[in-house]
Amino acid sequence: MLDKVIAENINFVTLQKKPKMEEQQITDILNFVNSALQNKLDAEHHSIQSTLDLAKGTAEIIKNNKHLVPYHLNLIDELHINENGHSRILYKLLEYRDPAGDYIFLKSLLKYIAKNCEAFEKICVTNPEITQEQCRIDLWVRDRAGGYAIIFENKVYNATDQAAQIARYIECTQGNGYPLDKIFVIYMPQKDDKNPVDDSWGKYKEDFASRYVKFSFRNGVLSWLKSDVLPSIPDKDKLLKSAIEQYVDYLEGLFKQRESDKQLYIMVENYIKEQLGFIGHPEEYYTQLICKCKDVKEVLAHLENARDRAEKVCWERWHNCMLSRYGKNDNCEIVFESRQQFPQVGVRVKILNKYVYLILEREERLYYGVKANEGDGIDENIEKEIADILATFTETQEGDWYQWDYVESSFACEQLIKLIDTTLEHIKK
């Protein structure tokens, strides 16, 4: 509204037919515009400050009242799984077959999805091949007998869509012998507010208008697991049931829906009501919350921009550190990629005449470790050669990684240097 008033007054000045305006008149209008702009800035500042105060107060309530929540242990919480971890859990679930050899959970999922996308109803599950992280596709279901293929794109932590990402997966599926009209895409963001960017689709967006569905973890996966999967797991499969119960509990925690935390959620909500001045009118309160959510998104956007700028500085610092420390070392080749998706820094060295990366990367979190050269895979001889170095890591071997660990940014470079120095010393021997 304020912008409109300012614009109208500026237009008033510009559209005057008088060849010359009084100096005082011009001054008054400019003062009005400046005042209006200042008021707008003040209002924005107040909105941001009140949002930050609300966030700080909420955090304090959670911190000070954690002891009221029943003791809780979830293995998935403690393992801090990444996007691939979620894909592995879903892969194991979809791969399940009942005693009759029926893929009951894959069928259940397609039936559930078909409520929002009729095309999935036509899929006939016959003899599917289900893979995880093959050709970089998070989950891939190919059924030659059934004549269909399904691409699952997992964005549980809202990772950025890569350029032509979905397009590449579609073309890869076509290259495996599946015609375009028999390929389906399931996009899985954390919540319903994220959609694939047009650039990710390439030229295929219109082709998939009827064979694409957004299936968020919050309103899709979690609901499906609770309503369809858990009730249908046979009693004899105790470990499977326990695993899915843990996963459901993990997702409920991610979305602040745990029944065990209900008392804490009520305290937080009461605090929010108090801060917003809620006095008993649900409609007004609802409107206030919509506005506050917009404010939070605005603040979050600023925080994310600040984070991205800070991260860029960090990667540049780490790169400069690699250059100054190992740039003249004949046994090292400096590696640096500052891209938004999977940035990395480190060195490439030769071990037993094969290249190995000692590297720091970021997906949702920072991690570092020893990685095989692309296309080489894990070499058992190299694995034995640097067994002592690999033994210092705690995470399990994964993909092209001989070994890796999560690391905090404050000492990421220090840990990477330690790994490189130890490895170089080993090579010299």
Instruction: Give the 3-state secondary structure of residue 372.
Output: strand
Task: Please give the chain's pLDDT, 429 residues, in tens.
Answer: 445 444 444 444 444 444 445 666 556 656 666 665 565 555 566 667 878 888 888 889 888 888 888 888 999 998 888 888 999 999 999 999 999 999 999 999 999 999 999 999 999 999 999 999 898 899 999 999 999 999 999 999 988 888 899 999 999 999 999 999 999 999 999 999 899 999 999 999 999 999 999 999 999 999 999 999 999 998 899 999 999 999 999 999 999 999 888 889 889 888 888 888 876 678 888 888 888 888 888 888 888 899 889 999 999 999 999 999 999 998 899 999 987 778 999 999 999 989 999 999 998 789 999 999 877 788 899 999 999 999 999 877 777 899 999 999 999 999 999 999 999 999 887
Instruction: Give the 3-state secondary structure of residue 86.
Output: helix
Q: Name the domain boundary from 18, 37, 64.
A: 64
- Asked whether residue 287 is assigned to any structural domain, the reply reads no
- Number of C-beta neighbours around residue 9 at 10 A: 15
Same domain, yes or no, for 229 and 371?
no
Distances (CA, A) of 53 to 16, 99, 210, 289, 294: 46, 56, 45, 15, 15
Instruction: Give the 3-state secondary structure of residue 168.
Output: helix
CA dist 121 and 425 (Å) reads 60
- Number of C-beta neighbours around residue 429 at 10 A: 4
CA dist 63 and 264 (Å) reads 10
- Asked whether residue 421 is assigned to any structural domain, the reply reads yes
Same domain, yes or no, for 30 and 83?
no
The residues pairing with 149 across neighbouring beta strands, listed in sequence order, are 142, 183
Same domain, yes or no, for 135 and 170?
yes
CA dist 288 and 294 (Å) reads 10
CA dist 204 and 278 (Å) reads 48
pTM score: 0.71
Which tens digits make up the pLDDT trace of 302-345? 888 998 899 999 999 999 999 999 999 988 999 999 877 789 99
The DSSP letter of residue 71 is: P
Instruction: Give the 3-state secondary structure of residue 398.
Output: strand
- The set of residues, in sequence order, having a beta carbon less than 8 Å from that of 137 and lying 6+ positions away, is 131, 151, 152, 153, 169, 172
Same domain, yes or no, for 345 and 378?
yes
Same domain, yes or no, for 193 and 49?
no
| Total tally of structural domains belonging to the chain | 3
Q: Residue 408 is part of which domain span?
A: 319-428
Same domain, yes or no, for 31 and 95?
no
- Asked whether residue 184 is assigned to any structural domain, the reply reads yes
- Asked whether residue 314 is assigned to any structural domain, the reply reads no
- Asked whether residue 310 is assigned to any structural domain, the reply reads no
